[in-house]
Structure 1
């Protein structure tokens, strides 16, 4: 009898040890997943948290074992951002039965959160968190490429219809030019013809927007180009109660090797956007668009700042996407083409903005003799 009892006890011990080995094995797997894992039991007590999750919330996992959700939220070292997100997750999960959540953290990373509960979990709640930033980037790249393909088709369809009237207008302006010369207004004809040529160049850019265009470079002083751009926008700015202020490095020549027409197109497009942003503000005070230059080692920065309506971070993240626009009659092509133009010049274009506080665009171009 005693022998049978000992044998049964031995089998029970072996079974327990086997169960523990399996449990430890699975716990070890969960501990080393690249996703954050946290488990609450049916009483709402935190019973498991893996290494990755502890890293994500920047807290030692063992200090949270045995805590309920309220105690976790009251942890003195849990960030305010995470506290707000946990409350939001709790509300959306239990009020709207939402099991999948996506959010962007304060550093711009994308996260996917999955909450599993119900009969299959025996009352437990399993929460997993995964960094999907790379997947989002791939998705956005594919979306961007699809937009470029669509852009090429639309551009080809409209180019013929636009070019015909432009050709007619150009011909009539040339016929009128002798009369304008007699009136001492030849400068008007020159500007009109130059702008018609620029419009034709823009159409050409649209047709070639899905493939790189090699800029036809010449060496120019960036200050001269900016003065011409301001001259072209002064009348429109006056009608829209805007003042364009030009602050240049008069004591230094800032030569760049650029395609003048392309860079002028970029600058005029940003100035036009600034005027429209200023129009959105219901304010009797006039708008200000400040344009300045700033040498930066081997580069020069062109800074275009306005006191318009500004934009939030979500809008800024999509600003250079083809066809993305918030304007009723906009095409969403201007900044997309501008971005590609600057990149083809081995430069960079960035934007910083705050809703209601205005926007700053910075165009960076390499100077002559420096990294051309």
Structure 2
């Protein structure tokens, strides 16, 4: 009888140890997920939080276990920004029954938040948080490419429809020119033909802007390129009351690019920086544009930073949209064309800005190890 009891007890201990082992194994998996996880019981008390979630909240795990929502919001280490976000998620989950939420944190990262509750959770509430910034970037890139492709199609169609009547008008003016000469009005014909040619040039330029040609690449030194760009812009910058500072982290930086197209991008961004500095109303404000280049992994990062008026998040989200501009006489094509040029070079262009502080553009271009040539095209 005693031996049977001992055997049953031993089996129970083994079963408990096995269950505990499985529990520890699964808990270890949850602790090391790249997604943040929090589990609240039916009373609203936090019973589990993994390492990633504690990092996101920037708070010690052990200080959170056993807290309810109110106690968490009163926690001295919880930032004001995170308190607002937690309250917003709570309202939307409880009052609007929303189970999916997207938010942007104070560092500009995108997060997808999922709340699971109901019968399958036995009254518990599971909250998971995942960083989806990379997916958002891919989505934004695809969206931008679609818009630029559509712009190219629209531009080609408009140009075709305008060029046809212009060609007919030009032909008839040339036929009428002998009669105008007899009437002593040859000047009229000359002006009409000149204006038609000018209209055709504008259409050609518009087409090239909306659909840049394939890059005609040559390998050049990035410092040499930036020095030439500074020489081209510093006189205009001084006239507008700002200075251009160039800083090169390494002299040996070569890229394979279409020099004319990349110059167009750099000059456009610097011109925008000058305009942003000009919008600052403080007469004592000293405008500065910083250019620098450095190697990051397999790319050269060219940075253009200004201390101008800056932009809010609403403007930033539409900055590369075709025809979007805040300037009275702007076309809204400059940055959308710049975006496409950089993408055609297998690079990337990003921007960050803060209202009243300034703006920084970063252009990433693939680095090359080939022999460099000067921007003018002559080999070093």
Residue 204 of structure 1 corresponds to which residue in structure 2? 208
Shift of residue 14 of structure 1?
2.5
Give the match's secondary structure for 1:212. coil
Counterpart-to-counterpart distance in 2, 1:305 and 1:162: 42
Matched-pair contact (CA < 8 Å) for 1:304–1:362 = no
Change beyond 3 A, Cα 1:170–1:60: farther
Residue 281 of structure 1 corresponds to which residue in structure 2? none
Change beyond 3 A, Cα 1:56–1:346: closer
Shift of residue 336 of structure 1?
0.1
Q: Under a length normalisation based on structure 2, what TM-score does the superposition of the two structures give?
A: 0.62
Matched-pair contact (CA < 8 Å) for 1:351–1:359 = no
Counterpart-to-counterpart distance in 1, 2:168 and 2:287: 35
Matched-pair contact (CA < 8 Å) for 2:242–2:287 = yes
Give the aligned CA root-mean-square deviation in angstroms.
5.6
Give the match's secondary structure for 2:43. coil
Counterpart-to-counterpart distance in 2, 1:136 and 1:128: 18
Change beyond 3 A, Cα 1:192–1:106: farther
Give the structure, 1 or 2, with the largest relative contact order (CA under 8 Å, sep 6 or more). 2
Residue 236 of structure 1 corresponds to which residue in structure 2? none
Matched-pair contact (CA < 8 Å) for 1:269–1:335 = no
Counterpart-to-counterpart distance in 2, 1:4 and 1:43: 42
- Structure 2 residues without counterparts, runs of 5 or longer: 219-224, 245-257, 295-301, 364-372
Matched-pair contact (CA < 8 Å) for 2:31–2:52 = yes
Shift of residue 145 of structure 1?
2.5
- Structure 1 residues without counterparts, runs of 5 or longer: 231-243, 250-256, 279-284
Counterpart-to-counterpart distance in 2, 1:116 and 1:126: 5
Counterpart-to-counterpart distance in 1, 2:304 and 2:18: 70
Residue 129 of structure 2 corresponds to which residue in structure 1? 129
Give the match's secondary structure for 2:150. helix
Matched-pair contact (CA < 8 Å) for 1:291–1:303 = no
Shift of residue 62 of structure 1?
1.6
Residue 119 of structure 2 corresponds to which residue in structure 1? 119
Residue 25 of structure 2 corresponds to which residue in structure 1? 25
Residue 238 of structure 1 corresponds to which residue in structure 2? none
Give the match's secondary structure for 2:78. coil
Q: Under a length normalisation based on structure 1, what TM-score does the superposition of the two structures give?
A: 0.63
Counterpart-to-counterpart distance in 2, 1:301 and 1:15: 62
1:160 and 2:164 equivalent?
no
Residue 92 of structure 1 corresponds to which residue in structure 2? 92
